[in-house]
């Protein structure tokens, strides 16, 4: 049990490092929301759909509502135009990952936010090895950095970013695609 708790604590510290590092990476030094209008979300519905267990992984941390929106905005370094989101951390005895998910008003706005984020990756001092790949019929982007193997994509009104600390990446991606 102590080994698992130590593993979870290390994973959470790494998540915080990602938040700070991503904030420095994506900061545009404005208070203007990225997107067409001001942020309108209340961030209250998406947290209700987060499963407590995904495969052999237990939910060990969850941010929803305004807390999650603030976290996601910090990652971008500015307020972004999203209506909801969550940050879910999962772990088992040998693996851990974190999922950031944001929801936009429509598909077009979600794609716009994805494109802005993806355009910054080639010049990122933190994230390297940007690679496009197809996974389960989805176009994903892979980058390594911040102590994780990272995959991000847009699907409909939602943007997903999965940071995998340890474990079988394809198995974890499969679980995320099937459950979120």
Q: Where are the domains of the chain?
A: 2-27+40-179
Q: What is the pLDDT of residues 141-172, one digit of tens each?
A: 999 999 999 999 999 999 999 999 999 999 99
Mean pLDDT over each residue of the chain, to the nearest integer: 80
Predicted structure pTM score: 0.76
Q: Count Cβ atoms below 10 Å from residue 175 Cβ, excluding itself.
A: 21
Whether the predicted pLDDT of 86 surpasses 50: yes
Domain spanning 2-27+40-179, CATH architecture: 3-Layer(aba) Sandwich (3.40)
Q: Which residues of 70-107 are buried (b: 16+ CB within 10 A; e: fewer)?
A: ebbbbbbbbbbbbbbbbbbbbbbeebbbbbbbbbbbee
Look-up of token digits 């941390």: 61
């Amino acid at each position: 049990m102590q080994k698992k708790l130590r593993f979870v604590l290390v994973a959470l510290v790494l998540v915080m490092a990602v938040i700070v590092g991503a904030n420095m990476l994506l900061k545009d030094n404005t208070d203007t929301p990225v997107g067409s209008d001001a942020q309108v979300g209340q961030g209250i519905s998406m947290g209700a759909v987060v499963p407590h267990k995904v495969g052999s992984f237990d939910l060990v941390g969850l941010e929803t509502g305004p807390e999650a929106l603030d976290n996601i905005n910090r990652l971008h370094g500015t307020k972004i135009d999203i209506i909801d989101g969550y940050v879910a951390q999962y772990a088992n005895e040998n693996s851990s990952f974190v999922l950031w998910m944001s929801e936009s008003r429509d598909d077009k706005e979600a794609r716009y936010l994805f494109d802005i984020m993806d355009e910054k990756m080639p010049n990122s001092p933190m994230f390297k090895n940007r690679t496009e790949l197809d996974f389960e019929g989805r176009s994903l982007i892979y980058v390594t950095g911040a102590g994780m193997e990272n995959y991000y994509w847009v699907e409909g009104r939602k943007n997903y970013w999965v940071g995998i600390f340890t474990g079988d990446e394809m198995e974890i991606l499969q679980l995320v695609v099937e459950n979120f």
